[in-house]
Structure 1
Amino acid sequence: MKIIIVGGGTAGWLTAAIIAAQHNGHLPGAPELVLIESENVPTIGVGEGTWPTMRNTLSSIGLKECDVFKRCNAAFKQGGKFVNWVNGNNDYYYHPFTVPTGYGRIDLAPYLSDITNFATLTNFQQDVCEAGLAPRTLAEQEYQGSCNYGYHLDAAAFGVLLKEKCINDFGVTHIVDDVKRVAVSPNGEIMGLTLENQGEISGELYIDCSGMHSILLGKALNVPMVDVSAVLFNDRALAVQVPYPSDAAPLASHTIATAQNAGWIWDIGLTSRRGVGHVYSSRYLSDDEAESNLRRYIGDAMNTLTPRKIEFNSGYRAEFWKNNCVAVGMAAGFVEPLEATAIMLVELSARYIADNLIPDSAATRVIAKRFNEQMHYRWQRIIDFLKLHYMLTKRQEQYWKDHTNPETIPDSLKDDLAIWHCRGPRVEDFKSAYELFPAASYQYVIYGMGFKPEFEKQEYLYQRKNEVESILRRTQQLTTQLLQNLPPHREYIAKWLSQH
């Protein structure tokens, strides 16, 4: 089988790496991978946050964690801090990557007197992040840690690292050229590509990683987008790279998302700089107003910076795999970067393709059908989860008030909330094999936003108070130990890398 990937960047090279690592392109009979990328199409390059899934992905493709940190100016990401999302009065809550103590065995929420402190009372990671600590000590091995974590990394440098791995270790053929024409058969199969300089090329499977252009699935096969802008309003972003005041400046080990009057600002700390950007809706905020928000947030350092403007339409493809073409990354869909779902979807999509490279047309039709079903479910869950961050707000700006309008809330999320008003999210609510976010994620967000289920109506169900008190004491003991033992984030990275 010959697989042609159109588009580089994180999506293209990560997809190539995952498939090539699993199928070992050097062996006879293994798939041949060809990646075509244009030097005239810049990558978006702002997807700098990952989920903990990336740890297994990097390990599986044979990358040393220390090399990723060195090459990509990487830092640890232990979750997200959401500032001013509730009422705009310096409130904040965390969505940590470590699940609550006792998770899956007992639901602690009904026993808490102040449910808005759910993350602090049931988990040590918020305190670890607030103290600016790393998720592990020097005694722990790479890809391990006392705290669950993902990464902050330079997306452009990450793409280069993956490209080198694919070409040097996996034998992926790299072609730098522009796709001039896509030949499509009467039955909708892609028959081949005509490149600007290198002529015609064809394969059995085409993977569209061409970003928002989607030149294969979108333009050639005419698969439309499903627009979700009525649910998620944001359609613009202004992004800048902010230098640290000194090499010893504190390094946050979490993404900071600070709500604004009509959107929010992300703040991602790499070892070399911060990636900062304002996501907003052009229906509520002009570009100049958004830049003013960004300047207020960044301060004097903004005087020497020019923001890069990114326009996008929130939505996903009506089909993700059509005939012999499958879209991965932004070619498949895009929503605002809240909760860093973009790279995680690339991982999941590439893993599915790698697991299902079966040279049988009848089987491929079933594989495509199942992939579409899974991805539709995942996109709906992403949209529900992101909307959850907005719809519980008490902020009074029109942008935020409109997010609470029931007409903008998906029916699937309304159904969940109808149940959670009575007893909160539980593990058993998320039994699908295709879930992206566990019940813990929903608990952190809705309780952090001040949503309190009516537990008292079934108070007789909650008779494990002594057990809960023991768990909460143990959590506080563990928090104290970690605060004593874990090193400062920047200090840990410097010492660890000096040893490798």
Structure 2
Amino acid sequence: MQIKKVAIIGGGTAGWLAANHLGAELSHNSLLEITVIESQDVPSIGVGEGTVPYIMNSLKRFGISEAEFLVKCDATFKQGIKFVNWLDTNIHGDNHYYHPFDVPYPKGFNVTSYMLTKGLRFDSVGIQADLCELGLSPKHKSNGDYEGVVSYAYHFNALKFAELLSNNAKRRFGIKHLIATIKSATKDEFGNVSSLVTRDNEELQFDFYVDCSGFSSIVIDKTLQTPFVSKSEELIVDTALVQQVDLAANEEIRPYTTATAHSAGWIWDIPLTNRRGTGFVYSSKYMSEQEAKTQYAKYLKIPESDFNPRKIPMEVGYREFFWNKNCVALGLAQGFVEPLEATSILLTDFSAELLCRNFPRTIEDIPTLQEDFNRATRYAWDRTVDFIKLHYCISDRQDSGFWEENRDVRTWSKELTQKLQKFKLRPPIQSDFFSRFELFDDKNFQYVLYGMQYSTDLPNMNNIEFEKCEQILGENPVHLDNAKRNLMLHRQWLDGLNKAMARLER
């Protein structure tokens, strides 16, 4: 049977990302109708406000201009993540390192051995950490869409981003939009989903279903009863408190995300043009809600008596099958991992793109396509969990059982254990990350490993390699001086764009 009608259950970032991916890939098929069904009664979680550079490929593919995106979504540039106090402050004092987005191979040359031999801060391999500290934009005014002096991604208002994606999908790809609250679904005699049932008991029939209904997981869980694979023994945080904080009109905007560790987790701090999105992530096994609220209020400099953050329980893990029968789950319906390293939107974007490249023409095509999709997506999830675990398990913090449990190798995956044993002998190399479905590779691992002072045996270097590294890294002061002269402050750049766009609209 040919697939002619597709339902995407749920809007938000996940639903409208899926709609744009499917629309961009399949809009040539005039017989295919794609409908996003969105409830007005289901609030967005709205904490996924950080990205990695991967998102640029999607925005360009959807035909969305960068200027429009930046202005309409209160967006700012993100040049990486500043990790604060992920090491023991009694040993290292107040400490931080950057995980910037620029590749740590200047001019394509691997300088890792030189950096370790000389005992240099690994984030000084390029100038991006300095640009972050100076609060500079990654772009000149003259740079075109999605072009900059250094690599970058974005912070944005998740609700406004979903609205931008919605308008683009409907206008550019003819995606239909239905406002309805789905309460359940029905199955046929073969176990496939046959219809959706609204709160008003209306039955809506489609051929294929994309479940973006968030934690409700109306189809993939409640209807198809797809098992959930918990990763709570590896990643032991299970709760987040979230709070938005206004920015003053003239307050500088940091061009990076801040991730500050505490005794039982960490705090995210994401700057937009008009506010900061913040969240206090913790393990309820090692910290009470009251203690978390007290520490969070102190971090935000808000009187605790006036502080009432939103609480989000976090069940870390994913579906055993992401594609089950004629349904694919995306976003929070697919799984959840804490937003360290902007994993949520990345996994959603990756999975939606993979689906559109493997979309079945008929129901009979599904068994052929779904096995590879499930295998690739599970691999991406497992390796992402490993990368998040890396941040915890190599920390030398001693201030609670939380960090001790994370260092217990019994909470590590076999693959992560093998990698870390190997990285004691030599630095990570590309062949350690052989699959293109590893969303974090040797470059990401190097920034985290050596930002946290992981001990690797010093490799041998010949004189030619040593001199080449000295020459390349010796150019950094010149590059930094040029950047200081030619790059604008982050807020100044964004304010200039907003004024220019306002003039165009008049």
Structure 1 runs, 4 residues or longer, greater than 6 Å off: none
Shift of residue 75 of structure 1?
A: 0.2
Shift of residue 366 of structure 1?
A: 2.1
**CA distance, structure 2, for counterparts of residue 452 and residue 215 of structure 1:** 46
The alignment status of 1:146 with 2:149, answered yes or no, reads yes
Deviation by residue 1:318-371 (Cα, 9 ceiling, x = unmatched): 110011100000101001110011111111111122222231444321211111
Q: Match for residue 495 of structure 1?
A: 496
In 2 relative to 1, CA 110–410 (structure 1 residues): closer, same or farther, beyond 3 Å?
Answer: farther
Which of 431, 436, 441 lines up with 2:439 in the alignment? 436
Aligned-partner SS, 1:112: helix
**TM-score, structure 2 length as denominator?**
0.94
Which amino acid is the alignment partner of residue 74 of structure 2? N
The alignment status of 1:191 with 2:194, answered yes or no, reads yes
Shift of residue 462 of structure 1?
A: 7.8
**CA distance, structure 2, for counterparts of residue 407 and residue 144 of structure 1:** 44
In 2 relative to 1, CA 446–192 (structure 1 residues): closer, same or farther, beyond 3 Å?
Answer: same
Deviation by residue 1:238-293 (Cα, 9 ceiling, x = unmatched): 1111012x211010111000001111110000001001110001111111111111
Q: Match for residue 453 of structure 1?
A: 456
**CA distance, structure 2, for counterparts of residue 302 and residue 374 of structure 1:** 45
Shift of residue 377 of structure 1?
A: 0.6
Shift of residue 296 of structure 1?
A: 1.1
Which amino acid is the alignment partner of residue 62 of structure 1? G
Which of 247, 266, 269 lines up with 1:267 in the alignment? 269
Shift of residue 498 of structure 1?
A: 1.8
Q: Match for residue 475 of structure 1?
A: 476
The alignment status of 1:112 with 2:82, answered yes or no, reads no
Which of 260, 276, 279 lines up with 2:278 in the alignment? 276
**CA distance, structure 1, for counterparts of residue 461 and residue 180 of structure 2:** 68
**CA distance, structure 2, for counterparts of residue 476 and residue 55 of structure 1:** 29
**CA distance, structure 1, for counterparts of residue 393 and residue 118 of structure 2:** 21
Of the structure 1 ranges 143-152 and 181-190, higher mean CA displacement relative to structure 2 is found in 181-190
Which amino acid is the alignment partner of residue 198 of structure 2? L
In 2 relative to 1, CA 416–38 (structure 1 residues): closer, same or farther, beyond 3 Å?
Answer: same
**CA distance, structure 2, for counterparts of residue 341 and residue 183 of structure 1:** 32
Shift of residue 302 of structure 1?
A: 6.9
Q: Match for residue 504 of structure 2?
A: none
Q: Match for residue 97 of structure 1?
A: 101
Aligned-partner SS, 1:455: coil
**CA distance, structure 1, for counterparts of residue 19 and residue 444 of structure 2:** 30
**CA distance, structure 2, for counterparts of residue 321 and residue 127 of structure 1:** 43
**TM-score, structure 1 length as denominator?**
0.95
**CA distance, structure 2, for counterparts of residue 243 and residue 320 of structure 1:** 38
Deviation by residue 1:51-102 (Cα, 9 ceiling, x = unmatched): 1111121121121212112211110011100000011331111100111133
Superposition pairs of residues 374-389 of structure 1, within 5 angstroms: 374-389=376-391
Superposition pairs of residues 230-249 of structure 1, within 5 angstroms: 230-244=233-247, 246-249=248-251
The question of whether the paired residues in 2 share the 8 Å contact of 1:116 and 1:450 is answered with: no
The alignment status of 1:70 with 2:71, answered yes or no, reads yes
The question of whether the paired residues in 2 share the 8 Å contact of 1:421 and 1:452 is answered with: yes
Superposition pairs of residues 45-64 of structure 1, within 5 angstroms: 45-64=46-65
Aligned-partner SS, 2:301: helix
**CA distance, structure 2, for counterparts of residue 431 and residue 447 of structure 1:** 21
In 2 relative to 1, CA 368–272 (structure 1 residues): closer, same or farther, beyond 3 Å?
Answer: same
The question of whether the paired residues in 2 share the 8 Å contact of 1:54 and 1:344 is answered with: yes
The alignment status of 1:357 with 2:386, answered yes or no, reads no
The question of whether the paired residues in 2 share the 8 Å contact of 1:109 and 1:118 is answered with: no
The question of whether the paired residues in 2 share the 8 Å contact of 1:242 and 1:301 is answered with: no
Aligned-partner SS, 2:41: coil
Q: Match for residue 392 of structure 1?
A: 394
Superposition pairs of residues 361-372 of structure 1, within 5 angstroms: 361-372=363-374
Which of 327, 330, 344 lines up with 1:328 in the alignment? 330
Shift of residue 103 of structure 1?
A: 6.9
Q: Match for residue 421 of structure 2?
A: 418
The question of whether the paired residues in 2 share the 8 Å contact of 1:177 and 1:198 is answered with: no
Q: Unpaired segments of 5 or more residues in structure 2? A: 502-506
Aligned-partner SS, 1:340: helix
Deviation by residue 1:406-457 (Cα, 9 ceiling, x = unmatched): 111111101101111111111221221212012110000000000121125x
**CA distance, structure 1, for counterparts of residue 110 and residue 364 of structure 2:** 45
Q: Match for residue 38 of structure 1?
A: 39
Aligned-partner SS, 1:133: coil
Which of 158, 162, 167 lines up with 1:159 in the alignment? 162
Q: Match for residue 185 of structure 2?
A: 182
In 2 relative to 1, CA 423–272 (structure 1 residues): closer, same or farther, beyond 3 Å?
Answer: same
Aligned-partner SS, 2:369: helix
Which of 210, 214, 233 lines up with 2:217 in the alignment? 214
Of the structure 1 ranges 4-13 and 94-103, higher mean CA displacement relative to structure 2 is found in 94-103
**CA distance, structure 2, for counterparts of residue 102 and residue 494 of structure 1:** 31
